[in-house]
Structure 1
Amino acid sequence: MSDSAQNRDELLAAYRDAMRHVAATVYAVTTMHEGVRFGILATAVSSLSFDPPSLLVCINRTSSLHDPLFAQKTFCVNVLGLGNRDVAEHFMKPDAADRFSVGDWEDTDGVPVLASAQSSFICRTAHRHEFGTHSIFIGELLAAKHRQDAAPLTYFDRHYIDISEAPQRDHQI
């Protein structure tokens, strides 16, 4: 193995290890294509702009959601709460015939929306870009809802954690 390949392998291993230690909210990104629901779990989601209100979503091009999402104009980013852990675990099963058989799913504006999610953002795809192994979807907000009583489901070091019990701080950002 050449030094550059070894350095690349070491760099990728270091990157994966470091990213496992970045706490991230868990999202179920969903769409509907030709009458069929599609969805995956994601952590690579971010607020992009307040004007227009928009989100940035990164989807691996080999995922089952990628091609249907690429073909559709709308999608939903469901922010999973602690009470949605069963949905997250079901979505992770590689042999799950119907990912939407767990949870209270509704079709709203042509996309699957989890009624019990902490928050849901229905978006129209405004732009798509490819980079590395992923496509970056920029979604302009069409509708949003939020439940006040839900704490986010958070992923850290290959485990779900409850950040709602974290010590309170005296200051805000």
Structure 2
Amino acid sequence: MLPIATQHGLDLITYGIYIVTTSWQGKDNGLIANAAFQVTAQPPRLAVCINKASLTHELVRHSRHFAVLPLAQSADLPFIGRFGFRTGRTFDKLAGLEFTRGVTGCPLVKAHTLGFIEAEVEQTLDVDTHTLFVGSVRAEASFQIKDPTPMTYAYYHSVIKGKTPLGATHSAH
């Protein structure tokens, strides 16, 4: 039996904080994710893990594409909450935000993001409550912003004092 610790082992794994967007049949949506990572360099592939209950999951499953936008450390809690604490089923997360469309049609939000990586889904892996979507990178770019420091999950919790929303990849402790 493992000893009981005050900090869980999963809390020791570092993460970034990302907006994942997609679009299908005229419906745009996005959510906050901390499980996005490069899978291979050649050819370039990216993976995201998304809760099956989310609208973004449904749209990625149908559209077969997604964009990952790394958040800047300067993003505030109201902006993060727009994508992380509300559902796209009842709230238009992109309303009032400036964005462009990428080559896959995904909305690319420039506010509080460092850039984007767009991918087309090649493979999926069912992981109970979530799906891991693995995609081939179709386009990527970085934005010119004043503070290009990426937000980490640790910064989000310790400095911004953000909470982990229900349904997130990483469970709250």
TM-score under structure 2 normalisation?
A: 0.75
**1:114 corresponds to which residue?**
109
d(CA) in 2 for partners of 1:18 and 1:99?
Answer: 33
1:40 aligned to 2:31? yes
TM-superposed CA distance for 1:132, in Å, is 2.1
- The change in CA–CA distance for 1:148 and 1:161 in structure 2 (over 3 A counts) is farther
d(CA) in 2 for partners of 1:48 and 1:57?
Answer: 10
From the CA coordinates, give the structure whose radius of gyration is larger: 1
- The change in CA–CA distance for 1:143 and 1:23 in structure 2 (over 3 A counts) is same
Structure 1 residues 6-45: aligned runs within 5 Å: 17-45=8-36
- The change in CA–CA distance for 1:68 and 1:88 in structure 2 (over 3 A counts) is same
TM-superposed CA distance for 1:83, in Å, is 3.3
TM-score under structure 1 normalisation?
A: 0.75
TM-superposed CA distance for 1:158, in Å, is 6.2
Identity %: 23
d(CA) in 1 for partners of 2:158 and 2:24?
Answer: 30
Aligned AA (1:101): A
* Matched positions, count: 151
Unaligned runs of 5+ in 1: 1-6, 163-173
Pick the structure with more helix per residue.
1
d(CA) in 1 for partners of 2:142 and 2:159?
Answer: 21
Cα deviations by residue, 1:12-39 (Å, 9 ceiling, x for unpaired): x98x943344332111111001101111
Structure 1 residues 49-68: aligned runs within 5 Å: 49-68=40-59
TM-superposed CA distance for 1:62, in Å, is 1.5
* RMSD of aligned alpha carbons: 2.7
Unaligned runs of 5+ in 2: 161-173
TM-superposed CA distance for 1:108, in Å, is 2.1
TM-superposed CA distance for 1:94, in Å, is 2.6
Cα deviations by residue, 1:29-76 (Å, 9 ceiling, x for unpaired): 110011011111100111111111110111111122111110012210
